[in-house]
Amino acid sequence: QVRLVESGGGSVQAGGSLTLSCAASGNTYRNTYMGWFRQAPGKEREGVALISTAGGRTSYADSVKGRFTISQDKAKNSVYLQMDSLTPEDTAIYYCAASISVWSIQLIGPDFDYWGQGTQVTVSS
């Protein structure tokens, strides 16, 4: 089992920045990918970014490319999401996720095996 705990959410004005953190514990050695997803009220869950734990390969949703950056600190079993130039459309609950797949995965929910409880991000105009 892998436990994921997000932190760093909050309220910010449009144009501002936030950094989300996700601390993983448990059998983290099995994690091959870490990702961030978000879900806004009335909308489906959306993949935001992923990173491969071994090689650091990253992938982003088109909606956040150039504004968000995913990174990891293997020593701390943590993954981060730096969010810049935030807009009200970025308002959502953000979830950290982990995959133990040995194959290449996509930024979609079914490819991930473990999920955190989420942290709220609110961007006001």
Whether the CB-CB separation of 5 and 117 falls below 8 Å is answered with yes
Three-state secondary-structure class, residue 75: helix
Q: Binning pLDDT at 50, 70 and 90, where does residue 23 land?
A: very high
- Give pLDDT tens digits for 91-122: 999 999 999 988 888 888 899 999 999 999 99
pLDDT at 96: 98
Kindly tell me if the per-residue pLDDT of 84 is higher than 90. yes
pLDDT at 104: 85
**Mean per-residue pLDDT over the chain, rounded:** 96
C-alpha distances out from residue 38 to 29, 41, 58, 75, Å: 25, 10, 17, 26
Nearest CA among 104, 87, 100, 99 for reference residue 36: 99
Kindly tell me if the per-residue pLDDT of 124 is higher than 90. yes
Three-state secondary-structure class, residue 74: helix
The answer to whether the Cα torsion of 25, 29, 34, 40 is positive or negative is negative
- Give pLDDT tens digits for 43-78: 999 999 999 999 899 999 999 999 999 999 999 999
